């Protein structure tokens, strides 16, 4: 499809319908070792045709216009060069909401939805959740803050990030989802610039948790297109989580919850950090769909 000669030859034989474009592109992405070749092809074609993926399924016999095919071909070329689909189309779905992303933000991952589920469970059990204060440390595109604001309309949220550009994108997403009045975005190293409230009912974070050595093993698509500062915590991978655990002493209410995402590689080390701090009870992991320990949930004594 991306090589004019082949495409023209084949066009004479049979038309480039939605179905054929999807099949060709899926094979092409598979040859480029995409983890989700069919899904990538569908998202890009739906974007080029300004329709939903579901609408593609009912349009298999349709022939996209020349303009749509040109737009699609360009996106396929960029994906073939390793660019993540979310960055090509400029958005990613998370917890059934659409979030703008850019090269300055981590692309939201489905694993982080487990953190949302745990946070909602914990919020339901808070002694008084009528106006609970929630923190989202390292908000990135704002997925955690915005999703929790949507789900918990009475909560108030402070979302921090060390990156100014991430804060701008997160604030834009909050406005799009009409929860900007509920969330205060602060450019800050963890809580350094956050004075109010003194203590939170819940501290959530999907912080950088990759070690320098693990970073070298990440796929080029991640290393070349996503910000290293969103991924790498330091030599061990536990550096930022360790600081968050310490913060809970002064910034988390008794009975409040600290919920952090982590990698299975550092799960044991993080459990030790939580234990040694003596700040928490009911410390437990939540596994992701692959069965890996992905979320650490702790309740402040």
Residues in contact with ligand SAM by the rule CB under 6 A: 105-106, 108, 112, 137-141, 143-144, 160-163, 166, 189-190, 206-208, 229-230, 240
Hey, what are 261's tokens? 């995402």
Is 200 strand, coil or helix? strand
- How many whole angstroms separate alpha carbon 296 and alpha carbon 269? 11
List residues bridging with 159 in a β-sheet.
Answer: 136, 185
- Span between the terminal Cα atoms of the chain, in Å: 60
Neighbours of 81 (CB within 10 A): 11
Nearer to ligand SAM, 37 or 108 (CB): 108
Minimum distance from CB of 180 to ligand SAM (Å)? 17
Nearer to ligand SAM, 25 or 147 (CB): 147
Minimum distance from CB of 123 to ligand SAM (Å)? 18
Minimum distance from CB of 84 to ligand SAM (Å)? 13
Nearer to ligand SAM, 41 or 240 (CB): 240
Minimum distance from CB of 167 to ligand SAM (Å)? 9
Minimum distance from CB of 246 to ligand SAM (Å)? 13
Minimum distance from CB of 254 to ligand SAM (Å)? 25
DSSP labels, 62-125: ----HHHHHHHHHHHHHHHTT--HHHHHTEEEETTEEEE--TTSPPP-TTHHHHHHHHHHHHHT
- How many whole angstroms separate alpha carbon 164 and alpha carbon 186? 9
Tokens 């990156």 appear where? 163
- How many whole angstroms separate alpha carbon 258 and alpha carbon 1? 49
Nearer to ligand SAM, 19 or 83 (CB): 83
List residues bridging with 137 in a β-sheet.
Answer: 160, 205
Length of the chain: 301
Minimum distance from CB of 210 to ligand SAM (Å)? 9
Torsion sign (Cα): 114, 218, 205, 90? negative
- How many whole angstroms separate alpha carbon 84 and alpha carbon 12? 32
Nearer to ligand SAM, 84 or 108 (CB): 108
- How many whole angstroms separate alpha carbon 11 and alpha carbon 6? 8
Nearer to ligand SAM, 28 or 99 (CB): 99
């Amino acid at each position: 499809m991306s090589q004019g000669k082949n495409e023209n030859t084949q066009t004479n034989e049979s038309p480039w319908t939605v179905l054929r474009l999807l099949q060709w592109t899926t094979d092409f992405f598979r040859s480029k070792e995409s983890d989700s070749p069919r899904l990538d092809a569908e998202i890009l074609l739906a974007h080029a045709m300004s329709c939903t993926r579901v609408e593609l399924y009912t349009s298999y016999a349709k022939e996209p216009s020349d303009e749509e095919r040109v737009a699609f071909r360009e996106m396929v070329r960029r994906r073939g060069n390793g660019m993540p689909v979310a960055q090509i189309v400029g958005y990613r779905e998370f917890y059934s909401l659409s979030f703008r992303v850019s090269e300055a933000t981590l692309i939201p991952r489905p694993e982080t939805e487990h953190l949302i589920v745990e946070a909602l469970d914990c919020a339901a059990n808070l002694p008084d959740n009528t106006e609970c204060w929630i923190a989202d440390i390292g908000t990135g595109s704002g997925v955690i803050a915005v999703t929790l604001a949507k789900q918990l309309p009475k909560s108030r949220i402070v979302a921090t990030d060390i990156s100014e550009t991430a804060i701008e994108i997160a604030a834009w997403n909050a406005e799009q989802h009409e929860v900007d009045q509920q969330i205060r975005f602060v450019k800050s190293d963890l809580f350094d610039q956050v004075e109010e409230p003194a203590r939170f009912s819940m501290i959530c974070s999907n912080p950088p948790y990759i070690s320098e050595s693990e970073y070298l093993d990440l796929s080029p698509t991640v290393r070349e297109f996503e910000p290293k500062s969103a991924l790498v915590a330091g030599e061990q991978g536990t550096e930022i989580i360790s600081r968050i655990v310490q913060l809970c002493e002064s910034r988390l209410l008794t009975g409040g919850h600290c919920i952090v995402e982590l990698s299975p590689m550092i799960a044991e080390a993080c459990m030790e950090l939580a234990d040694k701090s003596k700040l928490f009870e009911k410390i437990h992991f939540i596994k992701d769909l692959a069965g890996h320990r992905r979320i650490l949930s702790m309740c402040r004594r």
